[in-house]
Amino acid sequence: MESKKNITKKQIYSWAFYDWANSAFATTVIAGFFPIFFKSFWAGDLSPSESSAWLGTANSLSGFAIVIVAPFLGALADISNKKKFFLGLFAFMGIVTTGSLFFIAQGDWVIAMLVYAIACLGFSGGNVFYDALLVNVSSNESRNKVSALGYSMGYLGGGLLFILNVCMYLYPESFGLKSITDAILFSFLSVSIWWGLFTIPILKFVPENKNENDISFSSELIVQSFRRVISTFKDIRQYKRISFFLLAYWLYMDGIDTIIRMALAYGSDIGLESSDMILALIITQFVGFPATIAYGRLGDKFGLRLMLSIGIIGYIFVTIFSTFITTINGFYFLAVTIGLFQGGVQSISRAIYSQLIPENKHAEFFGFYNLVGKSSVIIGPILVGWVAYAFNDPDYGILSLLLLFIPGLIVLWMMPKD
């Protein structure tokens, strides 16, 4: 039985503002400028298919790293009740490395790839503890709405900074910049500042459970954390619904994260203009803001699993339709479609999972949740990048995502109801 919580709007919005903060990285860096800039500036000497393959590798490296550390850190944070400390640590890692992209010289694609991978690790690692703090600012009844608020704030905040960055990209002289190259490099720096500034509210105002006894960092605490991870691996078989859900989540989030990270690389490979594709990303952001809130309400009305299934079916349509794109208008249509489903699928997934996990293991189980989600990023980008490279056709790479979405939908409906 969940104890009654005294939760204030200030605490809820302080938590949601972290999505506003780090979504700038997801939008401007991951989905927006880094794929284009990596291919044209840092890896300009490589062929388009080869640079896409290495971009997929960079995304997969960060996913592999979070797979290794997420369960252990989740257990450590649960035992020590220091979720905000670890969130700040990983956010700092992401903020510093994102700002470091500003200083990487043209042609240094290996350095750029590694720095980007570390920044993605900071982004994903921080989300382990951000997700775990959801239960501190919501009750079971309000969790879906609060989760949706976080994602919608992310769309709005990330979208606002992205518009500014796009204006810098299109009109660099108006901002006192010499070239498009300078505009993109300064965009990376602006994300670092934005991320750092809006991380402050969650660290300052969101409550965290107190331990009865003060637990300091020690070798015994580390050993205890490892034991809890091993115990959770053994005990998770008792939670059938969690096991089914995590398998489904692993499959369909693989496809979603891959589309987020590789969409502009795919568009570039089929000959679309960078400025047109960036406009499509802006469309996705501002369609996603109201759509995520509406999706959360529809989930409460018609059922979370049903609305999640509709979202996955939407992505199956996106995957198939993308292979028929020949003009930017088709890309714009996909941008609107993705905006309708992306935030809703992510928000409802988090809400479903938060209702399945046992009490007092929130960070630990959200560590596994992020492990599952980010481990899918190991396979997805590599699958798309190297399949396209092997067949010398980007359409084959995109179609390979059907191997993830369709089984994910099937496993979701196999999840026991009780």
**SS3 call for 314:** helix
User: Domain spans of the chain?
Assistant: 9-206+221-414
As a dihedral over the C-alpha atoms of residue 189, residue 192, residue 193, residue 195, rounded to 10 degrees, the angle is: 150
Residue 344: name the closest of 97, 113, 144 by CA: 144
CA distance 258 to 318: 13
Let me know: does 246 contact 372? Beta carbons within 8 Å: yes
Residue 291: name the closest of 302, 283, 301 by CA: 283
Phi, psi of 177 (to 5 degrees): -105, 150
pTM assigned to the model: 0.74
CA distance 185 to 183: 6
At 318-373, the pLDDT tens digits run 989 888 887 888 888 988 999 899 888 988 998 888 888 876 666 667 667 766 76
Highest mean pLDDT: which range of 225-229, 244-248, 367-371: 244-248
Can you tell me the mean pLDDT for 210-235?
64
At 10-20, the pLDDT tens digits run 999 999 999 99
**SS3 call for 303:** coil
Query: Residue for token digits 């490099």?
Result: 185
Is the pLDDT higher at 80 or at 119?
Answer: 119
Let me know: does 242 contact 357? Beta carbons within 8 Å: yes
What's residue 212's pLDDT? 47
Helix axes 219-235 and 362-391, enclosed angle (nearest 10): 70
How far is the CA of 221 from the CAs of 133, 173, 216, in angstroms? 21, 54, 8
What's residue 17's pLDDT? 95
What's residue 362's pLDDT? 66
CA 21 to chain centre: 13
Is the pLDDT higher at 68 or at 217?
Answer: 68
Residue 292: name the closest of 246, 349, 376, 248 by CA: 349
pLDDT over 90 at 311, yes or no: yes
Let me know: does 66 contact 370? Beta carbons within 8 Å: yes
Burial state string for 173-195 with b = 16 or more CB within 10 A and e = fewer than 16: eeeebeebebbbbbbbebbbebb
Report the first-to-last Cα separation within the chain, whole angstroms. 17
Query: Residue for token digits 């450590």?
Result: 76
Query: Residue for token digits 């699993």?
Result: 305
Total Cβ atoms within 10 A of residue 1? 4
CATH fold of 9-206+221-414 reads Growth Hormone; Chain: A; (1.20.1250)
Query: What share of residues in the chain are helix, strand, coil (percent, to 5)?
Result: 85, 0, 15
Query: What is the percentage of the chain residues whose pLDDT exceeds 70?
Result: 88
CA distance 110 to 45: 12
pLDDT over 50 at 1, yes or no: no
